[in-house]
Amino acid sequence: MSIASVFIANRGEIAVRINRACRELGLRVVQAASAADLDSLAARLADEVVEIGPPPAAKSYLDIERVVAAARDSGCDAVHPGYGFLAENADFADAVVAAGMRFIGPSGDAIRLLGDKVEARRVAQAAGVPVVPGSDGRLDTLEEATALAAQIGYPVMIKAAAGGGGRGIRIVHDAAELARQFPQASGEARAAFGDGGLYVEKVIEHARHVEVQLLGDGERFVHCYERECSLQRRRQKVWEEAPAFGLDQALRERLCASAVALAAAVHYRGAGTVEYLYDPRTHEFYFIEVNTRIQVEHPVTEMITGIDLVATMIRIAGGEPLPFAQDQVRPAGHAIECRINAEDPARNFMPGPGTVTALTVPQGEGVRFDTLLYAGYAVPPFYDSLLGKLIVHGPDRDTCLERLRDALAGLDIVGLATTRGLHEALARDADVIAGRTDTRFLEPWLAREFVPAAAP
Amino acid sequence: MSTLDLVSPLPGTFYRRPSPDSPPFKDDGEAVAVGDVIGLVEVMKNFQEVTAEVAGDGVRFLVEDAEAVMAGQVLAQVDA
């Protein structure tokens, strides 16, 4: 492999995780750190630490010029972007390569292509990946919209062609409602964006979020099976599993093959994830987007496949071919990950920094805790609230849940409020245990069922 | 005349504007009443309004936009 040293352009638990993969591979690690992170676990574990700016991320971890200059000056051969920050910034990937280093991830062009929602949908469709049925382009008249809605089936979503961020989205349940809402939506879109064009898309009710882990070296592509990530709050995943429960083998093969077809279509290099909505009533799945990076929830896939995804993406970036074929990826058992955040469930999940005065990490068969914490660490207020991920593996889902309940009981983070208690309640909930969940499950469940323990 | 301090209730990143292309909550030299919003503090990606607990004239900010602040740090001063 042509990489001997890695510059970690990220922080927190993923920086610690990347550090571990580098050690496995015998690589030197240089850790980027803002002024607030000089005492972080990732900084303590690194061979060298480079300060890249003041605490706010905009002036440190998000500053492309500064990060690239620091990486180049450190003498590293490669840059690992982690997730978040600059991980899916095509200009950053290009700048790393232009500075003479390897970017541990796909090319800037692939990031750009797959990061554009419209382009990604087009590429997926061309590769035979099912997409959410909807208008191919803009619709300007109610007649067009009515004809399309009749074809794809109600309910449908109307959204401004020129809009974004969920603005102006309406859901209509029949033709009469469409006839009422379409002119209003068009008028509002014209007022807001200067363009009255609308898109119509089928609403997938009671959808689950499933996603497929990919690895590619630009020529060969494999999947590492799928994950189930339906338990979300404010569109943030809080609990993930692998494999997705309740999929029959034929469906699983079709789902995973579609992700591989998409990877092949763009000559994908590195680790990536294709996200889907899955309708458990019709057994149909629909493409959402591609994430061109390692994901927070990658450990559940590592636990069931035994593959070190982070080490593999480094080896691929170093020019090695994919080290295994599809038939060598053999999933075993079940894994669940709980995101432990510095948020107070009793105060509407208000995030809060603080100092960890004591830390007890659970031990046991199949238990893994990926974290940025150490006893005495002052969690800074400047970044996201993820403190760690408790990952548990078992031979089957029931055993996994049993081990998870034990592991959660054995996790003790003293000094700040965390979401551990939320996961304890979820792990005991009958619907969660039975797998009767979808992306709309968690928020009503919180309002209905969840009584958070008072802060100690 | 005395000088009064406006302090940050939380540690985090201080912003003088509701969004990067908006005008500041308070221009330099403006008067401040109790309860006026003088900025935002971002704590772990959560934005909290900072409201004035004292009133006065001629506000002077001691902290730049998008600068890290500690809980209790003086953000601005007014004359009362």
Same domain? For A299 and A167 the reply is: no
Q: What is the mean pLDDT of residues A182-200?
A: 84
Q: Which of A121, A227, A269, A293 is catalytic?
A: A293
Flag whether A424 is in a domain.
yes
Flag whether A121 is in a domain.
no
Out of A163-172, A297-306, A383-392, B44-53, pick the least confident: A163-172
Same domain? For A239 and A187 the reply is: no
Binned at pLDDT 50, 70 and 90, residue B13 comes out as: very high
Q: What is the mean pLDDT of residues A54-76?
A: 97
Residue A165 has what pLDDT? 52
**Residue A190 pLDDT greater than 70, yes or no:** yes
Residue A164 has what pLDDT? 58
Residue A210 has what pLDDT? 98
Residue A197 has what pLDDT? 83
Q: What is the mean pLDDT of residues A315-333?
A: 97
Same domain? For A287 and A430 the reply is: yes
Same domain? For A194 and A286 the reply is: no
Q: What is the mean pLDDT of residues A76-85?
A: 97
Q: Which residues of A touch B46 (CB under 8 A)?
A: 350-351
Q: What is the DSSP string of A359-395?
A: EE---STTEEEEES--TT-EE-SSS--EEEEEEEEES
Residue B20 has what pLDDT? 85
Binned at pLDDT 50, 70 and 90, residue A350 comes out as: very high
Calpha distance A225→A89 (Å, rounded) = 26
Contact A381 B46 (CB under 8 A): no
Q: What is the mean pLDDT of chain A?
A: 95
Quick: pLDDT tens for A412-423: 999 999 999 999
Calpha distance A21→A294 (Å, rounded) = 13
> For the stretch A330-348, what's the b/e string if a residue is b when 16 or more beta carbons lie within 10 angstroms of its beta carbon?
ebebbbbbbbbbbbbbeee
Residue A163 has what pLDDT? 64
Contact A385 B45 (CB under 8 A): yes
**Residue A85 pLDDT greater than 60, yes or no:** yes
Give the CATH number of the domain where residue A11 resides. 3.40.50.20
Calpha distance A392→A337 (Å, rounded) = 7
Same domain? For A84 and A184 the reply is: no
Q: What is the mean pLDDT of residues A381-397?
A: 97
**Residue A193 pLDDT greater than 80, yes or no:** no
Q: How far is A49 from chain B (nearest CA, A)?
A: 21
Tokens of A63: 């500053």
Quick: pLDDT tens for A86-117: 999 999 999 999 999 999 999 999 999 998 87
Q: Which residue from B minimizes the CA distance to A341?
A: B44
**Residue A456 pLDDT greater than 80, yes or no:** no
Flag whether A135 is in a domain.
no
> How far lies A268's CA from each of A75, A214, A259, in Å?
27, 9, 11
Percent of chain B with pLDDT over 70: 100
Q: Token match 């591609």: residue?
A: A290
Judged by a CB distance cut-off of 8 A, whether residue A381 touches chain B is: yes
Same domain? For A151 and A259 the reply is: no
Count how many residues are written for chain B. 80
Q: What is the mean pLDDT of residues A349-357?
A: 95
Q: Which residue from A minimizes the CA distance to B66?
A: A56
Binned at pLDDT 50, 70 and 90, residue A214 comes out as: very high
**Best mutation site among B42, B43, B47 for testing chain A: the one with the most A CBs within 10 Å?**
B43
Q: Measured between CB atoms, which of B42, B46, B67 is closest to A350?
A: B46
Q: What is the mean pLDDT of chain B?
A: 95
Binned at pLDDT 50, 70 and 90, residue A160 comes out as: confident
Q: Which residue from B minimizes the CA distance to A58?
A: B66
Same domain? For A213 and A192 the reply is: no
User: Nearest Cα to A411, choosing from A376, A452, A359?
Assistant: A359
Write down the CATH number for the domain with range B3-79.
2.40.50.100
Out of A142-146, A312-316, A370-374, pick the least confident: A142-146
Last residue of a domain, one of A183, A202, A221: A202
Give the CATH number of the domain where residue A153 resides. 3.30.1490.20
Same domain? For A96 and A213 the reply is: no
Q: Measured between CB atoms, which of B10, B46, B68 is closest to A55?
A: B68
Residue A168 has what pLDDT? 66
Binned at pLDDT 50, 70 and 90, residue A442 comes out as: very high
| Domain range summary for chain B, segments of one domain joined by + | 3-79
**Residue A448 pLDDT greater than 90, yes or no:** yes
Tokens of A207: 């959808």
Binned at pLDDT 50, 70 and 90, residue A451 comes out as: confident
Instruction: Establish whether A293 is a catalytic residue.
Output: yes
Flag whether A371 is in a domain.
yes
Quick: pLDDT tens for A254-269: 999 999 999 999 999 9
Contact B44 A353 (CB under 8 A): yes
Same domain? For A212 and A196 the reply is: no
Q: What is the mean pLDDT of residues A213-228?
A: 98
Domain ranges, residue A19: 5-104
Percent of chain A with pLDDT over 90: 88
Judged by a CB distance cut-off of 8 A, whether residue A56 touches chain B is: yes
Q: What is the mean pLDDT of residues A155-167?
A: 75
Residue A359 has what pLDDT? 98
**Residue A148 pLDDT greater than 80, yes or no:** yes
Q: Token match 């102006």: residue?
A: A168
Q: Which residues pair with A103 in a beta bridge?
A: A79
What is the domain count for chain A?
A: 3
**Residue A130 pLDDT greater than 70, yes or no:** yes
3-state class of B44 per DSSP? Answer: coil
Q: How far is A278 from chain B (nearest CA, A)?
A: 30
Same domain? For A198 and A219 the reply is: no
Q: Which residues of B touch A385 (CB under 8 A)?
A: 44-45
Last residue of a domain, one of A160, A184, A202: A202
Judged by a CB distance cut-off of 8 A, whether residue A233 touches chain B is: no
Residue A195 has what pLDDT? 82
Angle between helices A142-152 and A175-193 (to 10 degrees): 130
Contact A385 B67 (CB under 8 A): no
**Residue A28 pLDDT greater than 70, yes or no:** yes
Residue A167 has what pLDDT? 61
Q: Which residues of A touch B66 (CB under 8 A)?
A: 56, 58-59
Flag whether A130 is in a domain.
no
Quick: pLDDT tens for A270-306: 999 999 999 999 999 999 999 999 999 999 999 999 9
**Best mutation site among A382, A384, A416 for testing chain B: the one with the most B CBs within 10 Å?**
A382
Q: What is the mean pLDDT of residues A28-39?
A: 98
User: Nearest Cα to A347, choosing from B25, B59, B46?
Assistant: B46
Same domain? For A175 and A231 the reply is: no
Same domain? For A442 and A425 the reply is: yes
A160 compared with B37, residue with greater pLDDT: B37
Contact B45 A54 (CB under 8 A): no
Report pTM: 0.93
